[in-house]
Structure 1
Amino acid sequence: MQTIRLERPAKGIAVATLDRPERMNSMTNTMFRELESLARTLDRENDLRVLILTGAGKAFCGGYDLDDAEDLPSLSPMGMLDQQELAARALSALRGMRIPVIAAINGAAAGGGLSLTLAADIRIGSTAARFNAAFVRIGLSAGDLGASWLLTRLIGPARAAEFAYTGRFMEAVEAEAVGLLNSVVPAESLLDEAIAMAKQICANSPGGVQLSKRALQANMEVASYAAALELENRGQALLTRGEDLPEALAAFKEKRRPEFTGR
């Protein structure tokens, strides 16, 4: 894999590290394909009990790589929908794994990186962990990659709305207080803590854990996760037809504030 490093620190435990530290582990189409392939491949391993997902360097995941985003406004609506569905398949495959997924969040998780943490079953953050739904800052919707469905269920509709509409950062202490993080630990012990939790899970019945995960997920779905993805994908495809995304991308390149029109 080009963008992910896989290690096996203990029996039954795999650690997948997003490995683009020079780009804050930002997402590319290659990463989406590798995440989907990794999730589906590991899910076929009957001896695997827990997957830990973390980031190399100072960030967990900075979201979609804006250097790869310049072509988005020129895609046809169906082309943009294909792009969204490529990304959605990756996160859906990760969330749909039979085994528990622990996100060990070592730094910033922004935009699609936030969505990636939400796809995990458990989130442990270092004191450096921080989150934001950066979509509105680049002319897109926070309804992206399952975020609108999962975030409201974790922190509640009002908190999710304020967080999504402002695009502000949420630091680790607040994230733990509102339920976005299960716990906050010192940066130097983050991976050790995640592995220790994984070992606790491994000590339990594999079938019991897997069916517990299935039951917990199924009983969250008062509405359909698949329906949420469909709605989000169409919203993103529609927003690329306007003026704000090209403006945001231009402002990013020119290191200035974007001037949004909403048109």
Structure 2
Amino acid sequence: MDPLKTITVEAQDSTEILSLNRPDALNAVTPEMIDELTAYFSGLGDRLATRVIILRGNGWAFCAGAELGSEAFSAPGSGRAQRQLRIQQRYSQLIRLMRSCPQPIIGLVHGAACGAGFSLLLACDVRFATPEARMNAAYIRVGVGGCDMGSGYLLPRLIGLSVASELLLTGRFLGAERAKAVGLVSDIVAAERLLETGLEFAAEMARASPMGLRLTKQSLNALIDAPGLDAALMIEDRQQVILLETQDHQEAVAAFRQRRDPFYSDQ
């Protein structure tokens, strides 16, 4: 396997810390970074011993967005629309992989999270921010549509259509305080405690049974688009029946009764 050039991966127990690693460029997204992230998230389904992912940025910012001068923008000429669509789909596929991977993703945002960086943040399951964090859907400010890399789908579901429309139609920046007020981030923590907070939250999630954690993320993805209460209840009912048949359910009940921590086998 070729050495990673634009990201780093560090394992801590059952959590992996995935860091965007172009600090001199404020972690701007390039096709090379997209390809490395795509390979990483594509492989998570085969690595279930990894329970939780923390996504962060090295250096002064989470991610300043797509690098405008990169090969992500196809050269003019015949067939440009087709070439550009292929590039666009390379980028958007990453969001699909993030949402469908079995592991919940904790996003840690400091500094700027703009454009593509904002979309990466939206694709996380839980987000924490430092007080100086600033984020925006910058797409519309560079002459393209405000909905890109899942922002038009994810943002309204996270914060509601009205505020999402405000942000997507203007590219307006959202500071940490308002991001917390509208429910986009769970909490605001000091910069020096950001990673610690992420690891603590990952450890809390890892107290759940492995399959229970995976199916909860899967169910939430399905339930957000469920056509009604009946469909939602059917999804939940089936999830619970499956989990009730696991050894880990029996272990969790025994641990609760014996007032000890459970020891899960993912069986």
- TM-score scaled by structure 1? 0.81
Q: Which residue of 2 aligns with 1:226?
A: none
Aligned residue among 6, 11, 15 for 1:3: 6
Q: Which residue of 2 aligns with 1:87?
A: 91
Q: Which residue of 1 aligns with 2:50?
A: 48
Q: Note closer, same or farther for the CA distance 1:200–1:169 as it changes in structure 2 (3 Å cut).
A: same
1:142 has 2:146 as partner: yes
Distance in structure 2 (CA, Å) of the matches to 1:36 and 1:215: 23
Structure 2 unaligned spans of 5+: 228-267
1:163 has 2:171 as partner: no
Amino acid at match of 2:108: A
- CA offsets 1:104-134 (integer angstroms, 9 cap, x no match): 1122110011100011111111112111111
Q: State, as a whole percentage, how many aligned pairs show the same letter.
A: 36
Q: Which residue of 2 aligns with 1:177?
A: 181
Q: Which residue of 2 aligns with 1:151?
A: 155
Distance in structure 2 (CA, Å) of the matches to 1:195 and 1:64: 28
Q: Which residue of 1 aligns with 2:124?
A: 120
Structure 1 unaligned spans of 5+: 224-263
Between 1 and 2, higher relative CO (CA 8 Å, sep ≥ 6) is seen in 1
Question: 1:99 offset after TM fit, Å?
Answer: 1.0
Distance in structure 2 (CA, Å) of the matches to 1:70 and 1:212: 35
Q: CA contact under 8 A between 1:129 and 1:172: conserved in structure 2?
A: yes
Q: Note closer, same or farther for the CA distance 1:71–1:118 as it changes in structure 2 (3 Å cut).
A: closer
Distance in structure 1 (CA, Å) of the matches to 2:99 and 2:176: 22
Q: Which residue of 1 aligns with 2:18?
A: 16
Q: Which residue of 1 aligns with 2:232?
A: none
1:216 has 2:216 as partner: no
SS in 1 for 2:43: helix
Q: CA contact under 8 A between 2:53 and 2:105: conserved in structure 1?
A: yes
Equivalence map 1:178-197=2 (5 Å): 178-197=182-201
Question: 1:69 offset after TM fit, Å?
Answer: 5.8
Higher mean C-alpha displacement, 213-222 vs 70-79: 70-79
Q: Which residue of 2 aligns with 1:77?
A: 81
Q: Note closer, same or farther for the CA distance 1:159–1:139 as it changes in structure 2 (3 Å cut).
A: same
Amino acid at match of 2:53: L
Aligned residue among 41, 46, 61 for 1:39: 41
- CA offsets 1:127-152 (integer angstroms, 9 cap, x no match): 12111111111001121111000000
Question: 1:88 offset after TM fit, Å?
Answer: 1.1
Question: 1:72 offset after TM fit, Å?
Answer: 3.3
Distance in structure 2 (CA, Å) of the matches to 1:2 and 1:144: 25
Higher mean C-alpha displacement, 130-139 vs 36-45: 36-45
Q: Which residue of 2 aligns with 1:207?
A: 211
Question: 1:221 offset after TM fit, Å?
Answer: 2.2
Amino acid at match of 2:207: A
Distance in structure 2 (CA, Å) of the matches to 1:69 and 1:33: 13
Q: Which residue of 2 aligns with 1:98?
A: 102
Question: 1:70 offset after TM fit, Å?
Answer: 8.0
Amino acid at match of 2:94: A
Amino acid at match of 1:41: G
Distance in structure 2 (CA, Å) of the matches to 1:121 and 1:219: 14
- What count of residue pairs does the alignment treat as equivalent? 222
SS in 2 for 1:72: coil
Off by >6 Å, runs of 4+ in structure 1: none
